[in-house]
Amino acid sequence: MQTLNQQLLDKVLNIAYQAGEHLTHFYSRSVEVQIKSDKTPVTEADLFISQFVTEQLKLLTPEIPILSEESCKIPLAERTHWQEYWIVDPLDGTQQFIDRTDQFSVVIGLIQQNTPVLGIIHSPILGKTYYAMKNHGAFLKENSHVQPLIKNCKIFDKSHRLQVTIGNTNGDKIHQAVRPPYQIELLQYGSSSLKAGLVAEGKADCYIRLGDTGEWDTAAAEILLAETGGEVFDLDFNPLTYNQRETFVNPHFIMVGNKHHDWRSTFHFNK
């Protein structure tokens, strides 16, 4: 099992920064866009970054398998023997990349015993990098300045308005799920991992996703939130799982900044 230490984290951060430089180059020009079988877009940037990060991680830890969104056709029968593996989303927010919102990122995570233990979310255009490692805390590097992300202990009183970040989710469904007397204010933002970053920073109280994502969309966010007092769970308030199903598609979920708040008293989703 790979030992978690600052040296490992620094090397993986360097891979993420290099990937971000490549991504910035692609962003400066027009790129070819294709539609995958699941009706989601993929660009030549996704494919190049996937190959680059995979090659760099193989050089760093040749004994650890790698799962990337763009190369994930590995049956559970093979994956079930993995004690640890890298999980990569080479371009989280492909649609944001295409739409030129700047709100996309390179995401790299390490999973041990089916639990995320290291995560990096690097947004090269925004100049923001979130990273966390189990029992080592979480940090935000923004324009060369590094700051620790502190544990979220925010307490909501009954009049508190919750900041809820969403993507293209139907906001009406979220408003309908709010239990009185709570009220929410919706904040639309870019890629899934960057919305998780807003929660880890305390700029949003939670992120609700009523739509399909992959395990590579949430793994780095899991450890980032775990190290800042948050949590990720499905709409029945059960934890997400990793490498335990044939499919990589996550259930719809909620990422919260303070796991000690009674979220069952705040939301109820009719599925």
69 belongs to an annotated ligand binding site: yes
Residues 140, 150: contact at Cβ < 8 Å?
no
5: Cβ contacts below 8 Å, ≥ 6 apart = none
The pTM for the full model equals 0.94
The C-alpha atoms of residue 183 and residue 75 are separated, in whole angstroms, by 43
173: Cβ contacts below 8 Å, ≥ 6 apart = 210, 269
From the candidate CATH numbers 1.10.3330.10, 3.30.750.24, 3.40.1410.10, 3.40.190.80, the one assigned to the domain spanning 161-265: 3.40.190.80
Q: Is the four-CA dihedral 20, 222, 249, 175 of positive or negative sign?
A: negative
From the candidate CATH numbers 3.30.540.10, 3.40.190.10, 1.10.10.10, 1.10.645.10, the one assigned to the domain spanning 6-149: 3.30.540.10
46 belongs to an annotated ligand binding site: no
In sequence order, the β-bridge partners of residue 17 are: none
Q: Is the four-CA dihedral 110, 112, 114, 116 of positive or negative sign?
A: negative
44 belongs to an annotated ligand binding site: no
What are the pLDDT tens digits along the chain (271 aa)? 889 999 999 999 999 999 999 999 999 988 888 887 777 788 899 999 999 999 999 999 999 999 998 777 888 999 999 999 999 999 999 999 999 999 999 999 999 999 999 999 999 999 999 999 999 999 999 988 999 998 887 777 655 778 887 776 678 889 899 998 888 899 888 889 999 999 999 999 999 999 899 999 999 999 999 999 999 999 999 999 999 999 999 999 999 999 999 999 999 988 6
**DSSP 3-state of 251:** coil
Query: DSSP character for 265?
Result: G
205 belongs to an annotated ligand binding site: no
201 belongs to an annotated ligand binding site: no
**DSSP 3-state of 186:** strand
